[in-house]
Amino acid sequence: MKAGKLVYVIDDEADICKLVTNELARYGHQTQTFRTGGQALYALKKQQPDICIIDLGLPDMDGLTLVKQLMNNNSMGIIILSGRDSLTDKVLGLELGADDYISKPFDPRELVARTNSILRRLDKMAAVLNEAPQAQQASFDAWTFQVSTLTLSHAEGHCEILSAAEAGLLMTLLRAPRQILSRDQLMQERDTAFDRCIDVRMSRIRKKLEADPKNPRLIKTVYGIGYMLTADVVWQSA
């Protein structure tokens, strides 16, 4: 991972912003802080960060609303940093597209470690996109996955855009069709949000892929082990 990544810290507590920015600066990251979601959205029109750290209790909007808006950009990492510690909030945050969820109070060193983990994953995804285009498109069932745009296209014409985390998970399945993969095999970096992190991300992919996500046909759960893609996959040049 290259040093000097740009991190937006969106939190209305000045002490939290100072604590986070000081710790990130120790590892060479640049930071900008915002007290409201509106300020962050305005800044995003001018400059895109590598990752956003978002508090849910913002004064002008719910942080989950901001996360949902930011999901239009699939190349940016998102960490939720919140005093809400319920499983419901954690699952909802990850289902909306956040890469990680950290509860307050928190250890600044752990926050930096998780931030760096997500940045490494994004760097790996960027490296895949920049590789020679000999295998940039995967076709399976009625779907085609475009690696260069992280886009799923259905034969009937509709499209779905994946986040970097979702795309990385799907690509792992596409490279090993009809094989049972454990949760450990599906993790590109160690996921620390909570034990169900992979399950939540898989649920997001199923909602985009499956006609009936509650009774999936393409991505099967192998209980006690992991998941399996049931379709054959053909890789082609885009």
The DSSP symbol for 134 reads G
pTM of the model: 0.75
The CATH code belonging to domain 131-236 is: 1.10.10.10
pLDDT tens-digit map of 42-78: 999 999 999 999 999 999 999 999 998 887 666 789 9
CB 82 within 8 A of CB 89: yes
pLDDT higher than threshold 50 for residue 139: yes
| pLDDT given for residue 124 in this prediction | 77
> What is the rounded average pLDDT of the residues 196-201?
79
For 100-136, how does the pLDDT look when each residue is reduced to its tens digit (9 = 90+)?
A: 899 999 999 999 999 998 898 888 777 766 664 545 7
Question: 233, 174 in Cβ contact below 8 A?
Answer: yes
Q: In angstroms, rounded to a whole number, what is the distance separating the alpha carbons of residues 39 and 60?
A: 10
CATH superfamily of 6-129: Response regulator (3.40.50.2300)
Q: Where are the domains of the chain?
A: 6-129, 131-236
State which amino acid sits at residue 143.
Answer: W
What's residue 238's pLDDT? 65
What's the whole-number mean pLDDT along residues 21-31? 95
Judged against a pLDDT cut of 90, whether residue 184 lies above it is answered with no
Q: Supply the mean pLDDT for the chain.
A: 87
| Mean pLDDT, residues 174-189 | 84
Between strands 100-103 and 6-10, the pairing is unpaired
Residue 176 gets which letter from DSSP? S
